[in-house]
């Protein structure tokens, strides 16, 4: 097993552990999952995993595959334990944009659809962070630090692994952007209210 495959597997494991910790903290009331972001991420993570697997291979996409399964499980879990608030009006718009990514993916097919859908996913992912940041600016204790840190490290590892194999391709860039977004949230959880 090459070092890049090992790093990819470690990133996927960190990703999974972060989701587990987030669920534990949500059940305890230590985190308040944003319903819009979580629903968007369920949609996006599934489309993203399919896109990246179509554009690359399943080993390179392992963290994203892990994330799609874990996000769905987390959504169902958080919904089941009653820790998910209803969506606000503007948050439905974010969800609609996420659904556009699915339509684009299906209508345009594998290669072209995957590229355009990945761009829409990135845009939607950036937008989906807005309600989380707003919540953290009001109360930094809305989100736990450790899962966000683990997600940040996992995305950085995926970016490094991908860069070592293919250079600065789309998956490496996407992983860096996701690491940056998750890292920003991790930093905001540490600020004083």
pLDDT digits (tens, 9 = 90+) for 102-141: 787 777 766 666 677 777 778 888 888 888 888 889 888 8
Q: Is the pLDDT of residue 147 over 90?
A: yes
Is the separation of the CB atoms in 38 and 19 below 8 Å?
Answer: no
SS3 percent helix, strand, coil of the chain, rounded to 5, is: 85, 0, 15
Query: Can you tell me the mean pLDDT for 178-184?
Result: 94
Q: Is the pLDDT of residue 178 over 80?
A: yes
Q: Look over the chain and give the mean of its residue pLDDT values, rounded to a whole number.
A: 83
Q: Is the pLDDT of residue 1 over 60?
A: no
Query: Can you tell me the mean pLDDT for 147-156?
Result: 95
Q: What percent of the chain shows pLDDT beyond 90? A: 20
Query: Can you tell me the mean pLDDT for 89-101?
Result: 79
Tens-place pLDDT, residues 24-71: 988 888 877 777 778 888 888 887 777 777 766 777 777 788 888 898
pLDDT bucket at 180, cuts 50 / 70 / 90: very high
Q: CA nearest 63: which of 12, 4, 6, 7?
A: 12
Q: What percent of the chain shows pLDDT beyond 70? A: 92
């Amino acid at each position: 097993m090459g070092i890049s495959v090992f790093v990819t597997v470690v990133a996927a494991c960190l990703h999974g552990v972060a989701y587990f910790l987030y669920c534990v903290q949500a059940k305890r009331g230590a985190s308040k999952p944003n319903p819009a972001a979580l629903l968007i991420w369920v949609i996006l993570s599934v489309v993203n995993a399919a896109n990246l697997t179509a554009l690359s291979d399943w080993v390179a996409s392992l963290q994203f595959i892990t994330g799609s399964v874990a996000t769905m499980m987390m959504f169902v879990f958080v919904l089941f334990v009653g820790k998910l608030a209803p969506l606000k009006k503007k948050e439905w718009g974010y969800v609609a944009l996420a659904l556009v990514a699915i339509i684009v993916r299906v209508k345009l097919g594998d290669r072209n659809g995957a590229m355009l859908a990945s761009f829409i996913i990135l845009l939607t992912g950036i937008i989906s962070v807005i309600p989380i940041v707003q919540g953290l600016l009001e109360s930094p204790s809305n989100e736990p630090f450790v899962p966000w840190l683990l997600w940040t490290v996992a995305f950085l590892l995926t970016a490094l692994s991908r860069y070592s194999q293919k250079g600065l391709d789309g998956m490496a860039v996407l992983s860096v952007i996701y690491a940056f977004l998750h890292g920003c949230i991790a930093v905001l959880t540490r600020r004083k209210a």
